[in-house]
């Protein structure tokens, strides 16, 4: 019987061990362009180790079927990876602490439609989980030499129920 994962709200404090939450609340706000624009400054810094370059992508995520099974995690040792939803729809973020080179217990967060995340380099996370509809995301991550993808399967799956948030 798969363990059902609790799903918590995405907050800066809860997500701090894994990276930053990208949102306007609590951000450094600068008024620019003769007062016509608010700049929410430096929400996170992109990392691109070993001479890699930071690239900007669009991801179009197919909605995951629920109940959804978390059976694996991945991480990017050489760079960070940031996701920001374009369609203003909620999505799921699943991360885990490292335990001797393997992902520990998954931690699931429900992200709002105006909340993004920046996974720090080498942080275990599940690949993009879109909910209910095809969803587009702006993604900032690293391109360059070296193997920037490490994957790990869990010995048993964890389940995410649709009515669990
Ligand atoms: N593979 C890829 O570019 N995407 C994953 O890293 C992901 O976290 O979705
Ligand atoms: Ni990734």
Q: What ipTM does the predicted assembly reach?
A: 0.94
For residue 103, the model assigns a pLDDT of: 98
- Domain containing 85 equals 3-164
pLDDT tens readout for residues 53-99? 999 999 999 999 999 999 999 999 999 999 999 999 999 999 999 99
Q: Whose CA is nearest to atom 1 of ligand 1?
A: 127
d(CA 22, CA 61): 19
d(CA 4, CA 160): 6
Q: How many CB atoms lie within 10 A of CB 6?
A: 10
Is a pLDDT exceeding 80 seen at residue 2?
no
> Residue 129 C-alpha to ligand 1 middle, in angstroms?
10
Q: What is the CATH number of the domain that holds 139?
A: 2.60.120.480
Does ligand 1 lie within 6 Å of residue 128's CB atom? yes
d(CA 128, CA 134): 12
For residue 132, the model assigns a pLDDT of: 96
Does ligand 1 lie within 6 Å of residue 143's CB atom? no
User: Can you tell me the mean pLDDT for 93-110?
Assistant: 98
Domain tally for the chain? 1
């Amino acid at each position: 019987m798969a363990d059902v994962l609790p799903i918590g709200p995405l907050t800066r404090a809860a997500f701090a061990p894994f990276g930053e939450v990208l949102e306007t609340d609590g951000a450094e706000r600068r008024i620019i362009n003769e007062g016509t624009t608010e700049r929410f400054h430096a929400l996170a810094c992109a990392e691109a180790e070993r001479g890699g370059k930071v690239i900007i992508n669009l991801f179009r995520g197919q909605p995951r079927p629920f109940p959804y099974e978390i059976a694996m995690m991945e991480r990017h040792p050489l760079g960070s990876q940031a996701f920001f939803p374009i369609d203003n729809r909620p999505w799921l973020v699943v991360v885990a602490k490292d335990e001797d080179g393997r992902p520990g217990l998954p931690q699931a967060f429900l992200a709002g439609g105006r909340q993004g995340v920046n996974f720090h380099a080498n942080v275990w996370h599940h690949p993009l989980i879109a909910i209910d509809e095809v969803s587009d995301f702006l993604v900032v991550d690293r391109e360059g030499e070296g193997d920037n993808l490490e994957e790990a399967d869990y010995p048993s799956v964890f389940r995410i129920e649709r009515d669990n948030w």
